[in-house]
Amino acid sequence: MAEELLYWQALNRALDAEMAADESVFTLGEDVGLYGGSYRVTEGLYARYGEWRVRDTPISENSFTGLGVGAAMVGMRPVVEIMTVNFALLALDAIVNMAAKIPFMSGGQFAMPLVVRMPGGVAKQLAAQHSQRLEHTLMNVPGLRIAVPATPQDAYWQLRQAIASEDPVIVLEHELLYFSKGPVDFAAAAPPLHRAAVRRQGKDVTLIAYSRMAELALEAAQELAKDNIKAEVIDLRSLSPIDWDTCAASLARTHRLLIVEEDCRFAGAGAEIAAHLGERCFFDLDGPVRRVAGLDMPTPFNGELEAASIPRVADIVTAVRELCLAGAKK
């Protein structure tokens, strides 16, 4: 039943399925229509659904995201594509002040079935203005939910669930994942939108990661297996809310935690994960929670420096070895 699909194709199929099923679903953004989307996610939809449901917009991020907010208030289910997460900074008023707050400020009178999709992360030498991770900014906004799919299957499931949700959901897509391939089972029952997935089981150490870093964590775990270190890999799949129970259950078995994030270390997503699990699982842990994270600098343009500014598989392997060694000394 499963089909091998690229990540962007899975998103495209999810959008298509939701648009076919419900006329109130429409998508808008820069070049989503005639052009087919910068990462091809909306390819073919303009021809199928027409310009009102697949709307090419001017370069006006704050207002077309706000358009999504207004439309969601009257029962539409807009899927706003912001060409890259970097441009979302221009739309933060619509996302933070409007989408996240209107349902609450109205005393629950208005739902906000809005999805905002944003490609992001460090790709290939796009320089500092096009290589950001802004999850920490969005995580700190009550009223928003954040999905971070790492696989084509999750991209398919989570986008469909986000569109069906009555809350505003931000879908952070990684630019280097669009052309990664994986099986997508259209008939399989989806886990809840925000549940974490244990991608690999192990007893020695827990690696918590999300988005592209979940892939790297899995590669590192394979590497570590050669040294007989059995790493458990949790793909969070969601950054708000976070499935703490799955994380805590893992720590109760492994007693060691390494968080892998592409976000900058200082006040990044990993800081919240470390603080929460440090508080909750203190007595399960054999040592301090550790993080492998992006450097606290704007992303350099130079290719080698760019690669060095975010976690690599070798960084994860080294950090795990240190962590396990420290534990062994005890």
Partner 1 sequence: MMERETLHSFLRDMLLARAFEERAAEEYSKGNIAGFLHLYPGEEAVAVGVIRAVEPSDYIVSTYREHVHALVRGVPAGQVMAELFGRTDGICGGMGGSMHLFDRQRRFMGGYAIVGETYPVALGVAYAIAMRELPEAVVCFFGDGAVNQGTFHESLNMAALWRLPVLFVCENNQYQIGTDVHRHSAVTEMHKRAHAYNIPAEKVDGMDVFKVHDAAHHALDRIRSGSGPQFIEYTTYRFRGHSMADPGAYRPPVEVRAYQANDPVSAAVKDLEFRYPNAEELAQAGPDNIHRLAERGRSAGHLNEEDVQAIEEEVGKIVEDAVQFALRSPQPTIEDAWAHLYHNRRHEVLI
Active site residue 223: no
For residue 99, the minimal CB distance to partner 1 (Å) is 11
For residue 243, the minimal CB distance to partner 1 (Å) is 5
When the beta carbons of 5 and 208 are compared against partner 1, the nearer one is 208
For residue 110, the minimal CB distance to partner 1 (Å) is 6
Active site residue 174: no
Which of 225, 239, 217, 221 has its CA nearest to residue 291? 217
When the beta carbons of 117 and 255 are compared against partner 1, the nearer one is 117
For residue 152, the minimal CB distance to partner 1 (Å) is 22
- Within the chain, strands assigned E span 3-6, 25-29, 54-56, 77-81, 115-120, 145-147, 169-174, 181-184, 197-200, 205-209, 231-235, 238-240, 257-264, 290-294
Residue 186 has phi, psi (to 5 degrees) of -75, -20
When the beta carbons of 107 and 283 are compared against partner 1, the nearer one is 107
Catalytic residue among 18, 30, 81, 130: 130
- Which helix (H) or strand (E) segment holds residue 217: the answer is helix 212-225
Measuring CA to CA, how many Å separate 156 from each of 103, 139, 227?
A: 27, 22, 35
> Interface with partner 1 by CB under 8 A: which residues?
26, 52-53, 57-58, 60, 62-76, 78, 93-94, 97-98, 102-112, 142-143, 145, 165-167, 192-195, 238, 241, 243, 245
When the beta carbons of 143 and 327 are compared against partner 1, the nearer one is 143
Which of 84, 133, 126, 127 has its CA nearest to residue 264? 133
Q: Which residues are catalytic?
A: 61, 130
